[in-house]
Each structure stands twice: as C-alpha cells, then as structure tokens.
Amino acid sequence: MKVTIGIPAYNTEKYIADAINSCYNQTIKPEIIVVDDGSTDKTVEIVENLANLYKNIKLLVNNENKGIGYTRKKIVEECKTEYLAFCSADDMLERNYIETMLNYAKRYPDAIFYSDYKLIDEEGNEKGVVTSQDFNSYEEFANTVVSVAKQDRMFICYNIFAPTKLLKENNFDEEKRFGEDLEHLLRCVLIKRIPYVHIPFPLFKYRIHRKMVTQQRRKEIHENNLDTFRKIKKMGGQL
C-alpha cells in the first residue's frame, strides 16, 4: 500500500528541511507533496534542493498566498496513492509513523487516524508528550470534539492519516485561510459520522514557536470558529 505525505508550507525556511527529512526517512518510503503557499523566504529554494536529492518529492507553488484550506485541498487533489498523511512544515514524523498507521488502517479501512505526539520547542528539544483519551462511544467522542472546539481549541492535532478516497470525498474548505482543520473535523464527525481512530503512540513531534498562527491571531481564530459553527449548524450538525 502506497502512501503520500502532504506538507503545506508557508515561510518555514527554518524548519522545512527537518520536516521533509523526517518524512523521507520513514521505514516505509512515501511519496512527498509539498505545496508552498506563496512564501517570501527561502522555503521554495530549500525544497527544490531537497527535491534534487530525493526523487520522490513533488513541489507545487501557489501563485499567491491562498491560505491553509486551499493548500490542504490542493494536496488532496494531487494525491495519487492509496493513503494520504499530513505533516505540518514545522513538525517532524517519527520513523515508524507510516508503518504504524498502515497496521491500523488494515483493521479500520474507512477511518481517519490520529496519534499522540511529542511537544518540542523552536530548537527541537522535547518538552513532553500529549496523549489522547479513549472513548466508550462515538457520541462521547463527538461531544468532546465539540466541547473543546467551543473553547477555541482542537481536540486532535491534524497531522492525520486517511484513505485518499475518503479525503477526496470530504476535502478541506478552500475558503478557510486558517481553522480549516476544525471545520474539517466538525464536518466529518457531526455531518458525515466518519470514524476517527486514536493511535496510542507518540508518532510525531509538534513544534511550539512564536510564529504559529495560534500564537498570533487568537481573536481572528475565535471569529473564524464562530463562522465554522454557523456553517456546521446549517448543514444539520448539533453544536
């Protein structure tokens, strides 16, 4: 079973090489799609250099900054393999990420998968592990997703793994310049009732740094989330 890892990138020259190397050095080799969202730093140059070194990297560049929703959607549209995973351009995957995810995917063929993860700082130093709880029912899971969303937080870190067909049928909202992960999560859980399977291992490293959207635009995120709630309610979701 072949896997693509999609990396949305915007002005991440400091971290993008680490992200790509962590994807390339998997125990099961993936295809890699990087979509640059109009970076003004050296992100594209770094990816081009790595693409010359690693032959399984495809680089696409948006002609202007379109936002993360558009960029994620483009990755889904471009993916040609059976499975697709996402890795943020400032994060890193553990070497057994794909191998572990595929083992679970064989048991749950129509699900979206998420895992525990390690927290790292700007320099890559580990600061702890974030683990997810397990749930007794889908309703309990959905209620937790909604409760956390109303606090302007995400219950799941959206370095997800899923069948490509499932994501093509339930793609990201290209109008969301940020908060696309919450909109996608709520739509998949409350409207489509897609199973989300928790993998109880820390399979990637999530970097905390000052340039993160969540650290810079909290008021905008709140307004964006309210807009998402209105959209989901119109579609019939219970919030």
Spell out, as residue ranges, where the chain has pLDDT lower than 70.
Answer: 210-217
1-21: b (≥16 Cβ within 10 Å) or e: eebbbbbbbbbbbbbbbbbbe
Using one digit for the tens of pLDDT, what is the confidence trace for 135-144? 999 999 999 9
Please say whether the beta carbons of 90 and 19 come within 8 A.
Answer: yes
Cβ partners under 8 Å of residue 3, min gap 6: 28, 30, 31, 81, 82, 83, 84, 85, 98, 101, 102, 161
Q: Look at residue 213 in the predicted model and tell me its pLDDT.
A: 54
Of 219, 121, 111, the residue nearest 160 (C-alpha): 111
SS3 138: helix
Using one digit for the tens of pLDDT, what is the confidence trace for 22-48? 999 999 999 999 999 999 999 999 999
Using one digit for the tens of pLDDT, what is the confidence trace for 116-130? 999 999 888 999 999
Q: Look at residue 98 in the predicted model and tell me its pLDDT.
A: 98
Beta bridge partners of 163: 83
pTM value?
0.93
39 CB neighbour count, 10 Å cutoff: 21
Give just the sign of the alpha carbon dihedral 204, 133, 107, 171. Answer: negative
State the helix-helix crossing angle for 16-24 and 43-53, rounded to 10 degrees.
20
Q: Look at residue 214 in the predicted model and tell me its pLDDT.
A: 54
Q: Look at residue 69 in the predicted model and tell me its pLDDT.
A: 96
